[in-house]
Amino acid sequence: MVSRQLLLLCLISLPLLFAGCSKSRYSQKHDSAPKGEDIDFAAIADATPKAEPLSRYGNPLTYVVRGKRYYRLTSSEGYSEQGLASWYGTKFHGHRTSSGEPFDMYAMTAAHKTLPLPTYARVTNLNNGRTVIVKINDRGPFHDDRIIDLSYAAAGKLGILSNGTGRVEVIALSSNATPAEKHQHHLVQVGAFQTRSNAIALKRKLIRTINHETHIISASTDHGLIFRVRIGPFSSEEAARSLNQQLISDGIADSIVITDTINTSEDRFH
């Protein structure tokens, strides 16, 4: 009887969410990126949002991991959050996710603690402006300081593989959203230079005095490359204008607010 009960418990616990009985199924002790692969992440298509029924396996109203209880959201409508993203790869590749689907580290997917499975979401790297659309079909990451765990491919496309984590914004999408959308970013442009070294010097000065993300964006012009120093993106034009007024008061008279429309596939931030 005890053996049958233990077997039943492990069968119920197949998804990553309930990994207690199934830890031995992972051949790797530590997660990692695939070795010896040169992947063009930009060529990997974003997930396409579509209407899907909730997973039968991954949507308990409440569950416990490592002694902490989590409560599933009844809807993804209006969900938006900023925080740290991490990623997972070879250790979990091919194994079952909390939704019951196999984990594919080369697909645009992610794990979240409380959003319904599946949920489609737009994830933006707040450090470089890159954006991807992922299908959330798994549970995690079970660390208090992280809000989403990205597949290896999604993390590569966002540019957070080398650091391991990155500051992101996660916005849940309706099923009729499309990955080809363009998005408007409100930024403050502080200067434009013909040499990268001058742009870097200004960026370093700003980093010491303001608590906002600062980027150098290169662009080709008739006179060669130009390097623009910009702060942001900001969640609203009002927030950008507030910082702009502060910079003008501090003596940076050339500071201006701009709205830049950027295609999600572009890589213009450095």
| Percent with pLDDT over 70 in the chain | 79
**Domain interval for residue 17:** 12-172
Q: Are residues 85 and 122 in the same domain?
A: yes
**8 A C-beta contact, residue 262 and residue 269:** no
Same structural domain, 48 and 164: yes
Domain count, the chain: 2
Residues 70 and 149 in one domain: yes
Q: Is the pTM of this model over 0.75?
A: no
Residue 242: inside a domain: yes
Query: Predicted confidence band at 29 (pLDDT cuts at 50, 70, 90)?
Result: low
DSSP state of 31: -
Q: Does 142 score more than 80 pLDDT?
A: yes
Element (H, E) at 257: strand 256-263
Q: Is the pLDDT of residue 260 over 70?
A: no
| Residue 268 in domain | no
Listed residue (116, 102, 112, 119) closest to 143, CA to CA: 112
pLDDT at 252: 81
- CATH code of residue 133: 2.40.40.10
Q: What is the pLDDT of residue 210?
A: 80
Whether residues 154 and 230 fall in one domain:
no
